[in-house]
């Protein structure tokens, strides 16, 4: 399982939470990170 830096996680969370935010499915498609992982990061760090 790959490890991602805190900065990388925070960048993706900011993208998800911005007013014109990207959808989790978009980020998943672009990065290959599972949607469950992205939602987990959002709940933990967002």
- pLDDT at position 32 is 96
* DSSP symbols for 1-46: -----HHHHHHHHHHHHSTTPPPHHHHHHHH---HHHHHHHHHHH-
How would you write the pLDDT of the chain (46 residues) with one tens digit per residue? 679 999 999 999 999 998 888 999 999 999 999 999 999 999 998 7
């Amino acid at each position: 399982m790959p490890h991602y830096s805190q900065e990388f996680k925070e960048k993706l969370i900011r993208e998800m939470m911005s007013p014109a935010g990207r959808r989790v499915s978009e980020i998943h498609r672009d990065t290959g990170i599972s949607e469950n992982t992205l939602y987990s990061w959002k709940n933990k760090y967002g």
